[in-house]
């Protein structure tokens, strides 16, 4: 009787605790259970009774992706293949052909064969289009065909590919591949070291430390740390990289969430490598997440001069959550804040416009913060460089050309029509730029400006209101002006386009290693960073 009484007392207490715990999650425990039940019954009825055959897996995949699409682009469902790809990205190790590959609907395009690895040994080149892997036709493969190239070290894979209109075959022996977080480091001059940090995987800080120590042994008294194009990665590695330059027990980043356990402060844990060496950090519009934590922390602590273009503006933190059957949910759990207290998230996914698009935080809504020495910095739009260079920010027309892979495709055409044997004497000419412009025309490159789209929308409204006859002449004049602008815009962006073309072409002949060597001699951002470092008063002036 006593045990029964105890159980009767404990059950209400347990339920009360459960209710309180549920309350911590927005008091919606019942609502979640209700919606799951509705969805389960709906899913069953559709699959059992729909007039045609259904594929439950495809329906579920669509349902999950549609649900997550309303949140933010970083909250994603990972199937088993995606989980493996994420592991490779975080560790930098995998077994495969040793090449960067773009998966398209009907082919796999070799973007970059890594020097000395299987694809390179087998003779594959950037631009080769793989149409068949062993006996599998890529166009007929419903999943990510790139996974077909991976396998156990020592095994072989036969590929059929198209190069310059000709179909060829190759047998590739798979190997263990290590993708370095730091693919390059070298001396710019007798005092300036240069370190490229490409991603924040598990080896980011250790490889950066190795690079810096090697450069210091070669006489480096100052450093250029290149974070351009670095899309981020592991938050703890961002803290560790920052720790290289700042003392132990220094606040680097704070995360804030609706869930208490995700509210954390991250301090440097180790003794630094060098707290005095002058540092310039290079960033651009593709420097995101962990890159922004490092750049933002070093800027807030007045520890480095940041050079380039405003960074991407990703102030959100994700964490993987294991699900059943080897799947995973990568979910946004918090926002992060730099030491000064700013969150640099540039897009608001929770207050969308009338078209359902995320709204961008504007300069009018930026909040001012102070660095350690009292300099003013702002939140809301990525990391604003201390020295902003116009050439670093891709213009709208350059972005459109890059996004359509026309820089890449022209480089492929150039490679098969030009002999280049000496990196030091390589230089693109005006004739090459004219050839590129003709290449754009022959590929029917079109570019719609935001202004042009706005005019089209306005004309559609005018037609609805029967006003188009009144504005037709003015509209035609405006279109002519816009087309003139677009023609002139390519010439106006010649320097930027020529730089991108040269980098991609150099990579074809001399691999990525040659591209970085070319960078040191010709890249505007590196030259500016070196110039700042060479003048101590100029360097310190940016930090005052």
Active site residues: 289, 314
User: Which has the closest alpha carbon to 413: 523, 489, 522, 501?
Assistant: 501
Q: Among 109, 186, 177, which Cα is nearest to 514's?
A: 186
DSSP secondary structure code for residue 384 in this structure: P
For residue 89, what is the DSSP state? H
Helix 204-217 to helix 235-243 angle (10° resolution) is 20
How far, in Å, CA of 383 to CA of 386, rounded?
9
Beta strands in 275-315 (DSSP E): 279-283, 305-308
The answer to whether 181 and 217 are in contact (CB under 8 A) is no
Nearest alpha-carbon partner for 280 in 534, 513, 22, 14: 534
Other beta carbons within 10 Å of 11:
10
Question: What contacts 508, CB < 8 A, 6 or more positions away?
Answer: 125, 126, 411, 412, 414, 415
- Contacting residues for 402 by C-beta, under 8 A, at least 6 apart: 394, 500
Cα dihedral value 135, 140, 143, 149, nearest 10: 30
Question: Tokens 């492929």 belong to which residue?
Answer: 412
Q: How far apart are CA 183 and CA 516, in angstroms?
A: 9
SS3 95: strand
Pairing state between β 279-283 and 305-308: parallel
DSSP state of 5: H
Query: Which helix (DSSP H) or strand (DSSP E) does residue 403 occupy?
Result: helix 396-403
């Amino acid at each position: 009787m006593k045990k029964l009484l105890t159980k009767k007392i404990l059950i209400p207490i347990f339920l009360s605790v459960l209710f309180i715990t549920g309350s911590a999650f927005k008091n919606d425990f019942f609502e979640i259970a209700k919606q799951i039940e509705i969805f389960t019954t709906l899913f069953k009825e559709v699959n059992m009774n729909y007039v045609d055959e259904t594929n439950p897996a495809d329906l579920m995949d669509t349902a999950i992706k549609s649900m997550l699409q309303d949140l933010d682009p970083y909250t994603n469902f990972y199937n088993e293949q995606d989980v493996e790809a994420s592991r490779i990205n975080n560790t930098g190790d995998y077994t495969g052909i040793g090449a960067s590959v773009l998966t398209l609907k009907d082919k796999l395009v070799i973007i970059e064969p890594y020097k000395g690895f299987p694809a390179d040994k087998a003779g594959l080149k950037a631009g080769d289009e793989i149409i068949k892997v062993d006996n599998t036709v890529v166009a007929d493969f419903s999943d990510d065909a790139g996974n077909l190239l991976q396998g156990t070290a020592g095994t072989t894979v036969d590929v059929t590919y198209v190069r310059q209109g000709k179909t060829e075959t190759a047998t590739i022996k798979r190997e263990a591949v290590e993708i370095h977080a730091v693919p390059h480091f070298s001396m710019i001059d007798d005092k300036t070291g240069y370190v490229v940090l490409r991603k924040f995987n598990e080896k980011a800080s250790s490889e950066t430390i190795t690079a810096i120590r090697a450069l210091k042994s070669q006489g480096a008294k100052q450093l250029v740390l290149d974070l351009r194009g670095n899309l981020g990665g592991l938050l703890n590695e961002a803290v560790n990289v920052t720790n290289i330059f700042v003392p132990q027990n220094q606040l680097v980043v704070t995360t804030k969430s609706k869930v208490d356990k995700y509210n954390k402060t991250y301090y440097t844990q180790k003794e630094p490598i060098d707290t005095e060496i002058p540092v310039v950090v290079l960033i651009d519009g593709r420097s995101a997440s962990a890159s922004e934590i490092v750049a933002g922390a070093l800027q807030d602590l007045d520890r480095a001069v940041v050079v380039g273009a405003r960074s991407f503006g990703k102030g959100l933190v994700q964490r993987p959550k294991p699900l059943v059957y080897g799947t995973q949910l990568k979910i946004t759990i918090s926002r992060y804040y730099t030491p000064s207290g700013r969150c640099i998230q540039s897009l608001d996914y929770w207050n969308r416009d009338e078209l359902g698009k995320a709204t961008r935080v504007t300069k009018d809504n930026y909040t001012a913060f102070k660095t350690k020495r009292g300099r003013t910095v702002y939140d809301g739009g990525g990391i604003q460089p201390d020295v902003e260079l116009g050439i670093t920010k891709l213009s709208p027309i350059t972005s459109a050309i890059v996004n359509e892979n026309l820089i890449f495709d022209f480089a492929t055409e150039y490679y098969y029509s030009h002999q280049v044997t000496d990196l030091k004497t390589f230089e693109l000419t005006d004739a090459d730029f004219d050839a590129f412009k003709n290449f754009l025309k022959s590929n029917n490159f079109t570019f719609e400006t935001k202004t042009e789209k706005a005019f089209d929308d306005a004309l559609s409204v005018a037609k609805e209101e029967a006003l188009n006859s009144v504005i037709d002449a003015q509209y035609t004049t405006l279109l002519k002006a816009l087309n003139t602008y677009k023609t002139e815009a390519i010439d106006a962006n010649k320097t930027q386009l020529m730089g991108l073309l040269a980098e991609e072409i150099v990579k074809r002949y001399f691999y990525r290693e040659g591209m970085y060597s070319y960078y040191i001699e010709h890249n505007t951002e590196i030259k500016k960073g070196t110039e700042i470092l060479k003048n101590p008063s100029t360097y310190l002036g940016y930090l005052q």
